[in-house]
Amino acid sequence: MARRDYGEYGDDAPSRLFALVNPALLIWAWATVPRQVDGDLRIAAIVLLAVVSVVLVLRLVRPTAIGATAWFVVMLVGAPAAGLLFATAPQGVAPAFVPVIAGSAGFLFDTRPALVVAGVGSVTAAVAVVVRFDDARYVWIVLVGLAVLIGMTRRDRVRTLILMREKVEQTDRAIASEARAQVLAERARVAREIHDVLAHSLSGVNMQLNLVEALMEDGRDADARAAVATARTLVTDGLGEARRAVYALRDESGDLVGALRSLVENTAETIEISGTPRPVDADVLAQLGRIVAEALTNARRHAPGSPAHVDVVFAPSLLTVTVGNDTPTGASSFVHGSGVGMRGMHERAEQIGATLRAGPRDPDDPTAGWTVHVEVTT
């Protein structure tokens, strides 16, 4: 029944203005009301003023500390007391207590209980004044309870401000959460790039060094020197891939063509562009760049000396990249791959919603060349 905690906008406890005016009214009333009433009405006025004082003093406390039902009962007792006090001492400050209690009820309670409290106070004041002064013209006093509307208006304004504040807080949390998610995604992308580059080059170097150790133990120095040369080549290739990965991470232009052209290293590797080139999303650019780099690296390792082709097709809503190499013309030092590179390419394609197909050009002849085909909707 009682309203919620309204925080910094004016909570269940009174506002600073109310906290100052309320005691001032009580002090004024106690200083003047007993002197305005004579005879038996003086005792009645003092009792009524005491009841109203208790209610207004309790109003300085959060109603949630008293309880909603108990607070409604307190207000329901204070309203008729203020109404009777209105008729007992109508010339001074006493008439102000009915609007004060009505306004407090409008702020604290829902509409129905607020109207009950205001109605009881207003009707009691009007009836008491008419009975005491025997003049129906005073019935307009029933309107003093309309102060409840002021309380309701303030209540609705406070609730609106609270909802606005909560909405702003929710929006701030959503923005912070999205920013954090973007940071984590970028960190994951950078970690993935570094891992892919280092995992390939370092694993290859490790294999060659192990081979060198075994060859030297067998006294095969010439083969050991060849393995060292292969390891050196792997290190050089790894450094090149690392540089390209760093450039790709820094590239925010979306220039896919420029990024792919930088991957082509020699005259045996060509790139062809079809359609009208357009900028692509940074994540699409990064993942396609790594897929093409992996495909070209595999072609150099497993089919040394054979031509390699990169075909890029910009369709209206589709982007297609194909990397293929011809039949190997030189001996490969990588007879069997671990499959990590292919798995990485498929994972990268999945991350951007692309489809990837990779395999030999001729299923019946694995030596006829290899093709990697990627399609992504843009």
pLDDT at 348: 87
Helix ranges (H only) for the chain are: 16-36, 40-58, 68-88, 97-108, 111-133, 147-217, 221-250, 256-261, 282-302, 340-351
Q: Residue-wise pLDDT tens for the chain (378 aa)?
A: 444 443 333 444 455 666 677 788 888 889 888 888 877 788 888 999 999 988 888 887 765 667 778 888 888 999 999 989 988 888 888 888 988 888 888 888 888 888 999 999 998 988 888 888 877 656 667 778 888 888 888 888 888 888 999 999 998 888 888 888 887 777 776 776 676 667 667 777 888 888 888 888 888 888 888 888 888 877 777 776 676 666 655 655 678 888 888 888 777 889 999 999 998 887 888 889 889 988 888 888 777 778 899 999 999 989 999 999 887 665 454 444 455 678 888 888 998 999 999 988 877 776 678 899 999 987
Say if residues 148 and 105 touch (Cβ distance below 8 Å). Answer: yes
Beta-carbon contacts of residue 260 (< 8 Å; ≥ 6 apart): 271, 288, 289, 292, 310, 312, 321
The H or E element that residue 327 is part of is: none
* Bridge partner list, 319: 314, 376
Phi-psi region of 10 (alpha: psi -120 to 50; beta: other; left: phi over 0): left
Contact 303, 332 (CB under 8 A): yes
Q: How far is CA 70 from CA 2, 14, 67, 299, in A?
A: 10, 18, 5, 83
CATH architecture, range 253-378: 2-Layer Sandwich (3.30)
Residue 318 near residue 376, CB atoms below 8 Å: yes
User: Within a 10 A sphere around the Cβ of 143, how many other Cβ atoms?
Assistant: 12
* Predicted TM-score (pTM) of this structure: 0.47
> Where are the chain's structural domains?
7-169, 253-378
